Amino acid sequence: MKKALSRKQKRTFWKTVTKSAGILLMFGGLVFRCPMSFFIFPGLNCYAFPWGCAACPMGVLQNFLIFRYIPFFPVASLSVIGLLAGRGWCGWFCPFGTFQDALGWVKRRGSNPWIKYVVLVVALALAFTFKDPLFCKICPAGTLEGTLPNILIGIATFNPASILHISIFIIIVAFSLWISRFWCRFLCPVGAILGLFNRVTPLQINFSENLCVHCDRCSDQCPQGLDVPVQVNGTDCIKCGQCTVCSALKFSYRITEKSTAEKRRL
């Protein structure tokens, strides 16, 4: 007899599938043999990665500002990505998020919604004024997917710039071991952009107040350290679904809103 899978098992299964898809897309040039495309990666993924086939949103935005183009296409692509799943991409797809998940065993409370917006604005402003993608030079995803593989295949060498890059990466990794998803929680600028779409996207985690018994189990599970009943679906929620431990929290993907008749029945 077939055993029915529990909600958690199903979620874990699908999350493994989508996270693997994210990593496969990161290795696109090697796995699918796709050439470098104009497709913008839904997450933080360095295009210096030798086998990549999608562009990093931050790198593209910075370079557009350096060339003094108005980034219509990158903004439109990010809007479409954001409208599809908001920060769901962070929790379910982004390879750097997967890396952070692998490190983040210690779950701590507390998050800060605005630091990452400061990072985003400062990174873009610096790129605009100094005509140099300075954020790429400190980005830890750039170390993991750009500097380290390029050192391995002998294109880059150890020098002050790459050592700075690697040391920042090590600091972020250390913090991630201490606070789960440290980078996503406080600093990631792509998460900041996608966070703007979190309330608008059809992918929502519905919280019904009537069913909540205030046991706080959901907040204990949250890798982003949110106070789930209040901050679920906010700009910091990555929609990973760890909080759906009780019947008060449920995933939904609805483009259309419920009709009034349906609402009354509930």
Partner 1 sequence: MTQTGPVRREVAPQAVKWLICFIALCALSCVAFSALSFEADYDESDGLYLVLRIRNTSPLVYFENLSILLPGVPDRLEIPKVETGGIYVERVLVTEKKDRYDADVRYTFCEGDVCLYREEEVLIRPARFPDWLRYLGNGVFFFVLGVLVFWLWPRAKKAFTLAIILAALTGWLGIRQYQPETVRSIASTLCISCIGMEVVPDTFPITADYIDAVLELPITRVEVFHTDWCRSCPVVIEFLEELAMYCGNLEIIVYDAEEESRLAAEKGVYSGNTLVVPSTIVGGKTRITGAERFPERFLKSLREVK
From candidates 156, 221, 250, 251, binder to partner 1 by CB under 8 A: 156
162 touches 51 (CB < 8 A) = no
Question: Distances from the Cα of 131 to the Cαs of 6, 65, 123, 124, 127, in angstroms?
Answer: 52, 8, 11, 10, 5
Which of 38, 161, 182 is CA-nearest to residue 104? 182
Site residues for partner 1, 224-243, by CB under 8 A, read 234-235
Q: Is 48 in the site for partner 1 (CB under 8 A)?
A: yes
> Under DSSP, is residue 141 helix (H, G, I), strand (E, B) or coil?
helix
User: Of 2 and 263, which has the nearer Cβ to partner 1?
Assistant: 263
Site residues for partner 1, 133-152, by CB under 8 A, read 133, 136-138, 142, 146-147, 150-151
User: Of 55 and 187, which has the nearer Cβ to partner 1?
Assistant: 55
Q: Is 187 in the site for partner 1 (CB under 8 A)?
A: no
From candidates 213, 230, 255, 261, binder to partner 1 by CB under 8 A: 255
Angle CA(241)–CA(208)–CA(232) in degrees, nearest 5? 40
Annotate 81-97 with DSSP letters as a single string. Answer: HHHHHTTHHHHHT-HHH
From candidates 58, 63, 184, 248, binder to partner 1 by CB under 8 A: 63
Site residues for partner 1, 78-107, by CB under 8 A, read 79-80, 83
Site residues for partner 1, 190-219, by CB under 8 A, read 195-202, 209
